[in-house]
Amino acid sequence: MTIVPSLRNSNSSDQLWKPADLLESERLANEIQDCVMKIVKKREDRVVNGEADSFGNDFLGLLVNAYHDLDDKNRLSMEDLVAECKTFYVAGQETVNGLLAWIVLLLSIHEDWQEKARREVIEVFGNQNPDSDGISKLKIITMIIYETLRLYGPTTGLPRRVARKVQVGKLVLPANINLLIAKAALHHDPQLWGDDVHLFKPERFADGIAKATNYNAAAFFPFGLGPRFCVGMTFATTETKIALSMILQRYSVTLSPAYVHSPVPIITLKPEHGIQVIFESLHNGA
């Protein structure tokens, strides 16, 4: 069995000409790489030591399997394995984390929706942990997730490259230019959403996305459009529903006076000063 190789490519002479922030970013990149490789090695060791008979069939297991593929045409390099892990971690963690934070903020302000959501969660799950049957019944929670994705979607723009000259309506786009489709602008366009566009109104989505957007696919696409559409969409919404249900079962949330509203797009849409809310346990002694 191949033991995970080192991908590091450091050279002490780098320190003579590289600026400090570049050296620091390289150090961090190496640390992330080492961290992923340690996790991979742990998986490999379990098989080598006879504690497991396969690398597993979760996402990491599939990648480690591909890394050990006997056919070198199908084999994944360690560099690609690490890159896949980084992509899924960043694409999956930052986005869902941000979405949950914005939902908690909005529910702390709109206590009527918080109450409706909690009622639904208790009706569906009682005080039990969420299960997959119940997850598909969460209508109010789904509406809240969509409306939060519209107002504070984690990704604000969609980068695209124009491969060949194309006409879009009156606009002629030449080949080989880079475009940023301003998703947030469309999600906040009063012509598409009405004059109350800036208000949190989950009821817009009461009859689903198609009705809310008047059957216009370009009015709402928090997970992108086309063949590069987000592969993690179902996972992300399920994860959000589970986490939110568990929070609502246990806590009521109110906005802290310390909160200062300042969403800033730093890769994903982030609250510049954090989100200060007050959680109060719904169960005595919990």
- φ, ψ of residue 254 in degrees (nearest 5): -125, 155
Binding-residue pattern over the window 198 to 237 for ligand HEM, x denoting contact by CB under 6 A: ------------------------xxxxx-xxxxx--xx-
- Contact between 153 and ligand HEM (CB under 6 A)? yes
- Contact between 263 and ligand HEM (CB under 6 A)? no
Least distance from ligand HEM to the Cβ atom of residue 21, Å: 27
CB-nearer residue toward ligand HEM: 77 or 87: 87
Residue 230 is assigned to a ligand binding site: yes
- Contact between 148 and ligand HEM (CB under 6 A)? no
CB-nearer residue toward ligand HEM: 159 or 194: 159
Stretch in the footprint of ligand HEM (CB under 6 A) among 148-156, 202-210, 259-267, 270-278: 148-156
Least distance from ligand HEM to the Cβ atom of residue 241, Å: 11
Rg (C-alpha) for the chain, rounded Å, is: 23
Least distance from ligand HEM to the Cβ atom of residue 200, Å: 17
Judged by CB under 6 A, the residue of 36, 63, 96, 105 near ligand HEM is 96
Least distance from ligand HEM to the Cβ atom of residue 269, Å: 9
- Contact between 62 and ligand HEM (CB under 6 A)? no
Judged by CB under 6 A, the residue of 32, 47, 56, 88 near ligand HEM is 88
Distance, CA of 152 to CA of 146 (rounded, Å): 10
Annotated binding site for heme: 230
Annotated binding site: 230
Binding site for ligand HEM (CB under 6 A): 87-88, 91-92, 95-96, 99, 153-155, 158, 222-226, 228-232, 235-236
